[in-house]
Structure 1
Amino acid sequence: MDISRLEGIVAILPTPLAPNGAIDEPALRHLVEFGVEQGMDGLVVLGSNGEFPYLSFEEKREVMGIAAETAAGRIPVIGTASAAGTDQAVALARAADDAGCDAVMAAVPAYFEIGADEVVSHMETLASEGDVPVFFYHFPEVTGVELSPAEIAQVAAVPGVVGAKITVVNSTFQREVIEATRPSDWQVFSGTSFLLASCVEAGGAGVFCPLPLLGPAAVRELWVALRDGRRQRAEALQADLLRAIPLMSGIDAPVEQLIDGFKLAAHGPFGGSGTRPAPSQGLLKAALRLCGHPLGPTVKSPCREAGEEEVALLERTLHELGWVNGS
């Protein structure tokens, strides 16, 4: 499987947990099977919505092993190499390779401030010693590491780093990253389905996002329209998909108000990343449960489960979208 040619819809899986905090293996296997059945082009475990900062090394190894074994080569599985230091990242990458993952996604170490030189050095070591292809995970609101498109292009030049997930909610920045990394074969993915159309129209490869687990048919239809060059249809589908913003934000406000705010931030000039986001893992698990998936609400501390008002918002939004049955 040539992971460097990956494109399309890559779903970010949550990490299902039993009430005692242990990995819920049956629920994880269910989600992997669901991703395969729904025609996802790939799956990511242990991303931000997979609670990677709060799981032990052994728990991460377990999750990667279960996911890769369940997928059984039917679909690419991307593990994690996001860690507090380079040595730990390399160890995770090797564990992912041993588990059968096709690649890893790696955010930068974030405790102390680092710049582009340190990021490139980190990625060089990870890619050369980790024994598995790497997707660079750029999420400056969380890591505090702001890189320009030109600096991200330096990461793109590192052998073994095959692409990136750009979690910056701004289409201008996203487009500039894609342009800066041309004419290489580097695959740039949006970190949100709400910017999938602008990403693909700029030459990007698709999306890494949890939303396809909640509305697989809607996100797939958008991707197919983009792939087939049906731009007018894609624009209409992208606009319709924005009604799902409450599922990701947990903000109970008129949906048109949320959409207007999103458009203002996403399609204007890029002025830098915003404030650190609140954890959304509890929201995702609650929404999946409302869609009929067999996973409980448990999250790793200090994350928190979705509250009653948030669950009511999720349920109302899912009904309005027609996604209650996971469609």
Structure 2
Amino acid sequence: MDYTAAAKQLRGSIAPVVTPFTDNYSIDFDAMTSLINWHIDQGSHGISVTGTTGEPSSLTYEERTRVMAHAAKTVAGRVPFVPGTGSVNHEETLNLTKMAQEIGADAAMVIVPYYNKPSQHALYNHFKAVAASVDIPIIIYNIPGRTAVNLHVDTLARLNEDCPNIIGVKESNKDFEHINRVLLKCGPEFNLYSGIELLCYPMLAIGGAGHISATANVMPEKVAELYDAWVAGDTDRARSLHYELMPLNDVLFQDTNPAPLKAALGMMGKIAPVLRPPMALPTTALQKDIANVLKNYTTIENETISS
């Protein structure tokens, strides 16, 4: 595979779609189909599932495979499809990444293993083995706030040099100095994606490839337009969208993602506002704040606050 050409296709707003549940906590595949079609219609440049926003830790292994397969079938090649295949378990990560290739994914997004805090040497070995197991692009997902370990820039640069199919990284990292050094060490062709909503615009300014932003679940057209405006050279419009989206970004992260997001999507009539325990919807007060902010962006079909 020509990984350089593949990387060029994996740019823009790749929407990390939520996993909808019914009131009895089963996966709502009909709602998932509707969400994916809506995202594509609204201009999202790619679709991702079973990343942080997709609550993978609340899914069984078998459920993750079903979500991935259903999403691949729904996307049907209309835009790039990038499922999250990482896990705390090495063998499970290998199997899910191989499955991504089997179902025709354009790339796999593999999170830094969480909870067990591997060393940089161990992370190198883990990602090298994952990359060697498939012939599709790999996007590493670095989110130290969730994983309790940060993938160092030197480790990432070594992986980029040794593994041709490691073509990018999603940096959910508030250390902007670290983020700048990613492109310094890995080169301008390396795909750098923002996973921090307030850094989507700044990352484009330093050479980023786009963003994988939870806010795209609520306002897919504007999150995609931010990228489109930047690429078109309309920096004024891109900057304006950055600030326009800021109040929404702020309220959606007043509680752990995707709890506020699912409350918002419930108000918009897109899904049932359900998370699997131990996750739960935000407090009544925060849901009221979310509703008030949403009214400035979109039509709310249901202002009922869920318990």
The normalised TM-score by structure 1 is 0.85
CA distance in 2, matches of 1:165, 1:22: 29
- Name the counterpart of 1:169: 174
Return 32-41 or 208-217, whichever deviates more: 208-217
Return 61-70 or 187-196, whichever deviates more: 187-196
Deviation at 1:53, TM superposition (A): 1.4
User: Do 1:68 and 1:101's aligned partners in 2 also have CA atoms closer than 8 Å?
Assistant: yes
Asked whether 1:179 is paired with 2:197, we answer no
CA distance in 1, matches of 2:299, 2:121: 46
User: Do 2:45 and 2:224's aligned partners in 1 also have CA atoms closer than 8 Å?
Assistant: no
CA distance in 2, matches of 1:90, 1:116: 19
CA distance in 2, matches of 1:197, 1:106: 23
Deviations 1:210-264 (A, max 9, x none): 21221223223322221122223322321222122333223xxxxxxxxxxxxxx
Deviations 1:167-204 (A, max 9, x none): 01243332221222115x32110103321221111011
Paired residues in the alignment total: 296
Return 62-71 or 87-96, whichever deviates more: 87-96
Asked whether 1:225 is paired with 2:229, we answer yes
Alpha-carbon spacing, 1:4–1:221, altered in 2? closer, same or farther (3 Å): closer
Alpha-carbon spacing, 1:20–1:132, altered in 2? closer, same or farther (3 Å): farther
Secondary structure in 1 aligned to 2:31? helix
**Equivalent residues in 2 for 1:5-16 (5 A)?**
5=8, 6-16=10-20
Alpha-carbon spacing, 1:249–1:62, altered in 2? closer, same or farther (3 Å): same
- Name the counterpart of 1:188: 192
Q: 2:7 aligns with which of 1, 4, 9?
A: 4
User: Do 2:108 and 2:137's aligned partners in 1 also have CA atoms closer than 8 Å?
Assistant: yes
User: Do 1:93 and 1:132's aligned partners in 2 also have CA atoms closer than 8 Å?
Assistant: no
Secondary structure in 2 aligned to 1:63? helix
Q: 1:287 aligns with which of 231, 251, 264?
A: 264
Amino acid at match of 2:269: G
Q: 2:294 aligns with which of 318, 323, 326?
A: 318
Asked whether 1:155 is paired with 2:159, we answer yes
Q: 2:85 aligns with which of 81, 85, 102?
A: 81
The normalised TM-score by structure 2 is 0.90
**Equivalent residues in 2 for 1:229-244 (5 A)?**
229-244=233-248
- Name the counterpart of 1:120: 124
Amino acid at match of 2:157: A
**Equivalent residues in 2 for 1:62-81 (5 A)?**
62-81=66-85
Cα RMSD (Å) of the superposition? Answer: 2.0
- Name the counterpart of 1:248: 252
CA distance in 1, matches of 2:131, 2:21: 30
Secondary structure in 1 aligned to 2:295? helix
Secondary structure in 1 aligned to 2:83? strand
**Equivalent residues in 2 for 1:185-224 (5 A)?**
185-224=189-228
CA distance in 2, matches of 1:232, 1:72: 35
Amino acid at match of 1:91: N
Deviation at 1:310, TM superposition (A): 2.1
Deviation at 1:147, TM superposition (A): 2.9
Q: 1:102 aligns with which of 103, 106, 115?
A: 106
User: Do 2:193 and 2:211's aligned partners in 1 also have CA atoms closer than 8 Å?
Assistant: yes
5+ long unaligned stretches in structure 1: 251-277
Amino acid at match of 2:101: D
Amino acid at match of 2:221: A
User: Do 1:3 and 1:76's aligned partners in 2 also have CA atoms closer than 8 Å?
Assistant: no
- Name the counterpart of 2:305: none
